């Protein structure tokens, strides 16, 4: 991986944060996807923990599982792994139009009826209560300004069906916002934020979710993340 550029601490997210993130991920898609492919073990490790829970809750063949993925990227490796399980149907969201198009190609082998793509800001998504058996968000919710993360946590809890599972990773540090220039690419502009481990867990518990796993792990990007598996 290239040397990590210096972080710039910011108190308020730039007004155009979503547009800049979309532009960045559109530009760095090939480099990011290549890097992710080499750094996929942790994502798959926690995805397997989710799948064990989800399959145990749906023991009979033919029982459909509806999964929402926030930040599906190119569909590899997470969406692809989800779709290798029979009777799993995925709603795949990403802010990058380039990544969505790549994902459509990568996942075509599973059939068009197995995945629904929704391009755009995850904060613009609208679903009814109790819509999904599982929701996955890896390295995606962290791109939201902190106030939006709080609201997103409440929405995720509403969108889950009773007994449904949530797998998301968050920043383990309390940080109003961080901007990084030239990450993986000359046009690799990034923004992250987080409430920190304790505050994030409290926000999840306030929605009524049961925390099953809460691991703080040093990641490949030289930062710690809080990995949460929760149940409604």
CB distance 144 to 119 below 8 Å: no
Predicted local distance difference test score (pLDDT) of residue 2: 43
Give the N- to C-terminal CA distance of the chain in Å, as an integer: 37
In the prediction, which pLDDT does 221 show? Answer: 62
Average pLDDT over residues 163-185: 92
Task: Name which of 49-53, 82-86, 96-100, 222-226 the model is least confident about.
Answer: 222-226
Q: Is the pLDDT of residue 206 over 60?
A: yes
Contact 132, 160 (CB under 8 A): yes
Query: For residue 138, what is the enclosing H or E element?
Result: none
Best CA proximity match to 214, nearest among 193, 230, 203, 202: 230
Instruction: Provide the greatest CA pair distance for the chain.
Output: 51
The stretches of 39-145 forming alpha helices (DSSP H) are: 41-57, 78-83, 97-107
Place of tokens 């946590």: 153
Place of tokens 């929760």: 230
Task: Retrieve residue 231's tokens.
Answer: 């149940």
CATH topology classification for 28-56+63-171+199-231: Rossmann fold (3.40.50)
Tens of pLDDT, residues 86-138 = 999 999 999 999 999 999 999 999 998 999 999 999 999 999 999 999 999 99
225's tokens: 């993340």
Q: pLDDT tier at 36 (50, 70, 90 boundaries)?
A: confident
**Sorting pLDDT into bands at 50, 70 and 90, what band is 188?**
confident
Q: What is the pLDDT of residue 181?
A: 85
Name the DSSP class of 64.
-
Round to whole Å and give the CA distance between 163 and 63: 14
pLDDT of residue 40 exceeding 90, the answer is: no
Q: How confident is the model at residue 61 (pLDDT cuts 50, 70, 90)?
A: low
Quote the CA–CA distance of 171 and 165 in Å, as a whole number: 20
% of the chain at pLDDT higher than 70: 95
Q: How confident is the model at residue 76 (pLDDT cuts 50, 70, 90)?
A: very high
Query: Can you give the pLDDT at residue 105?
Result: 97
pLDDT at 1: 37
Secondary structure letter of residue 20 according to DSSP: H
- Can you give the residue ranges of every domain in the chain? 28-56+63-171+199-231
At residue 157, what are phi and psi to the nearest 5 degrees?
-65, -40
Query: Residue 55 has what pLDDT?
Result: 92
């Amino acid at each position: 991986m290239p040397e990590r550029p210096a972080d710039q601490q910011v108190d308020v997210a730039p007004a155009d944060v979503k547009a800049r993130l979309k532009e960045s991920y559109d530009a760095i898609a090939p480099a990011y996807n290549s890097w992710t492919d080499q750094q996929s073990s942790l994502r798959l490790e926690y995805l397997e923990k989710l799948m064990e829970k989800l399959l145990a809750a749906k023991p009979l063949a033919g029982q459909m599982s509806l999964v929402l993925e926030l930040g599906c990227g190119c569909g590899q490796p997470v969406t692809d792994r989800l779709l290798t399980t029979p009777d799993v149907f995925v709603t795949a969201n990403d802010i990058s139009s380039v990544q969505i198009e790549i994902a459509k190609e990568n996942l075509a082998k599973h059939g068009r009826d197995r995945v629904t793509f929704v391009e755009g800001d995850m904060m613009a998504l609208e679903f009814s209560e109790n819509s999904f058996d599982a929701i996955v968000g890896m390295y995606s919710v962290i791109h939201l300004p902190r106030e939006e993360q709080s609201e997103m946590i409440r929405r995720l809890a509403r969108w889950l069906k009773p007994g449904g599972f949530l797998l998301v990773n968050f920043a383990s540090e309390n940080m109003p916002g961080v901007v990084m220039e030239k990450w993986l690419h000359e046009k690799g502009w990034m923004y992250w934020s987080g409430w920190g481990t304790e505050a994030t867990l409290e926000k999840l518990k306030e929605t009524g979710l049961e925390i099953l796993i809460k691991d703080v792990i040093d990641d490949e990007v030289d930062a710690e993340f809080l990995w949460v598996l929760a149940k409604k």
